[in-house]
Chain A
Amino acid sequence: MRIAIASGKGGTGKTTAAVALARVMGSCVLVDCDVEAPNAHLFLNPEVQNTQDAYVMIPEVDDGKCTGCGECSRVCQFNALAVLGKSVLVFNELCHGCGGCVLACEPKAITEGGRLIGTMQWGKAGDLDFYDAKLRIGEPMSPPLIKALKHQAELSEAENTILDCPPGTTCPMVEAVGGADYCILVTEPTPFGLHDLNMAYQTVQELGIPAGVILNRAGMGDDCIQNYCKANGIPILLEIPHSREIAEGYAAGKDILSSMPSLEDGFKKVINTISEGLNNG
């Protein structure tokens, strides 16, 4: 079972929920797919066993062989190559690594090298297999790193996977949520929370992934989330009360089950509800 935790709006409690769910599941894989701002490790203090750099392919042009014909620049949809006289200027950060220029180069002046996009690491946090990655500063593209990280995490033997996803509803979120059996959308009872929940819900529907909601900070705002979920037939799996105590615990890097142990049953029920739902098709 692969459960993705996503949100639309940032800061609603995705990581809090992901860590708590992983804790109550016991042995499973937790993949922190928020490679731009990874934080799950702060709450789990994993023992890192391996690190590995991740790359995307970029063109390397041999000026000796280049005839300046301009074919590479013509086929590149991302404007990553510009021909200046008889040499080619490569804008590494614009390259998407499609390999089109290599195929287009008649004199075979282009080979491929790697552009470092980030570094992955993995290890153990108690019974958990933990995976995360950091996007290199100045690297625009997070989806290839998320993809590489998810591939790496597939090597784990644990049966269940929790994917802690980045905020938003565009490519990084779609890459992280892809392949999940179920998606938990974490939100808060505010106009921002509602607006972004709606975006995120439509996105997972588009991807064909069943979804439910964890309402965090319940009681802080109004009833907009309950009303929205009722109107759209979305189950609210758990309500986490608005509590300064939880916020203070979070600030110190304490996971929510340590700040409020009474929530353990609630998180267990979330797992049971989802697995029963999936088993019953």
Chain B
Amino acid sequence: MAETGKAKTITIISGKGGTGKTSVTAAFASLAAPVVVADCDVDAANLHLLLSPEVEKSVDFYAMPIARINQDLCVGCGLCNDLCRYEAIVVQDDNYSVDPLACEACLVCKEHCPEQAIGTVERQAGYWFLSQARTGPMVHASLGIAQENSGKLVTEVRKAAAEVAEKEKLGLVLVDGPPGIGCAVMASLTGADLVIAVTEATQSGLKDLIRVNDLCNHFKIPIHIIVNKCDLNPEVTQAVRKWAQEAEAPIIGEIPYDTDFTKAMIEAKTIVEYKSSRIGDELKSIWNTVLETMKSIV
């Protein structure tokens, strides 16, 4: 894309999981290269499996520090347990400790412990990586097991992607977002110039698309739609089209149900790299529509 100051950001989300977000993002990355890609689905990051990035820099990610009780100083008064709203204080034989999975990191217990027996413990909760993929720079992350704060990590990934775009003078960032509509999705949407929602022509896909559209309206971000598996059920596809028209959310492409996506994935290729296929051609045409749309977004 033409360089016009700050990079534009396209964020790909879906509501429902498994509709093809990552396969679509990877195809766009192939078509837009060189482009910055950011995998903001830090819970279940998969984009690296298609783009095979080589890690150039790895940065530790720290979650918010949680409470820890110093057993030597604790007198067992129980005030921490009374104040904690997250059932995170474990009491066993008059011994008080903190359940790290339940602790919300509010530190109310630490603030009020009369013996100052409660301190904090830093948690290295994962990493984020600045890498080179065959489509250009890529920022992605790996979150530790059963960690929280994915919203915070998403924000770090997104910011790093914007920085690398500026440094390397690339005009576009593609963000692969998580499923759902909660914290991690909201963190992925910050700064997006355009949202592309990948849905599937199923009852569930449509229901979740409506929720994603409501969320984008809430944040006043324009949304365009790709309907995957569009030939599974003509009635549902028709219902998606009708809804999209009423919601004024343009459908920019429809992709038939095809196992080529899976075959490409097994070869660690994007669908447009895999072989000449009808869905590859469809994605090329969708990408041209996206480029046209981006011209009108200032």
Q: Hey, which bits of chain A sit against chain B, CB under 8 A?
A: 7-12, 15, 34, 36-37, 39, 42, 57, 75, 77-78, 96-100, 103-104, 134-135, 137-142, 166-174, 190-192, 195-196, 199, 202-203, 206-207, 220-222, 244, 247-248, 250-253
Contacts and interface: CB of A to CB of B under 8 A. Distances in A.
A140 B202 CA distance: 26
Contacts of A11: 16-19, 179
Contacts of B233: 248, 251-252
Given A247-B229, A251-B201, A251-B229, A141 B180 contact: no
B232 A196 contact: no
Given A42-B207, A100-B106, A169-B145, 4 more contacts: A37-B180, A37-B211, A138-B215, A190-B262
B266 A221 contact: yes
A251 B6 CA distance: 41
A252 B101 CA distance: 39
A169 B83 contact: no
Most buried by A among B183, B203, B257, B268: B183
Interface stretch (B41-49, B167-175, B244-252, B276-284): B41-49
A103 B83 contact: yes
B204 A42 contact: yes
Given A222-B266, A251-B229, A99 B83 contact: yes
Contacts of B55: none
B25 interface: no
Contacts of A203: 145-146
B146 A195 contact: no
A169 B85 contact: no
Contacts of B111: 75, 100, 103-104
B181 interface: yes
Contact of A168 (B44, B181, B208, B262): B44
A192 B219 CA distance: 30
B262 A220 contact: yes
A99 B108 contact: yes
A68 to B, nearest CB: 20
Contacts of A190: 262, 265-266
A169 B46 contact: no
11 contacts: A15-B204, A103-B108, A137-B218, A168-B44, A168-B180, A172-B180, A192-B46, A220-B259, A250-B204, A251-B202, A251-B236
Contacts of A97: 85
Contacts of B19: 10-11
B181 A171 contact: no
Contacts of B44: 8-10, 167-169, 195-196, 199
B32 interface: no
B43 A98 contact: no
Contacts of B95: none
Interface in B144-198: 145-151, 178-186
B174 to A, nearest CB: 18
A96 to B, nearest CB: 6
Nearest to A222: B266
A196 B106 contact: no
A140 B185 CA distance: 8
A59 to B, nearest CB: 13
A191 B229 CA distance: 20
B294 interface: no
Interface in B53-73: 64
Contacts of A78: 106
Interface in B63-122: 64, 83, 85-86, 101, 104-108, 111-112
Contacts of B14: 10
B211 A9 contact: no
Contacts of A202: 145
B143 interface: yes
B146 A77 contact: no
Given A9-B18, A10-B44, A221 B262 contact: yes
Contacts of A166: 180
Contact of B18 (A10, A135, A170, A207): A10
Contact of A39 (B186, B201, B204, B215): B204
Given A37-B16, A191-B268, A9 B257 contact: no
Interface in B248-271: 257, 259, 262, 265-266, 268
B43 A39 contact: no
A170 B207 contact: no
A8 B179 CA distance: 11
A196 B178 CA distance: 13
Contact of A251 (B15, B146, B207, B232): B232
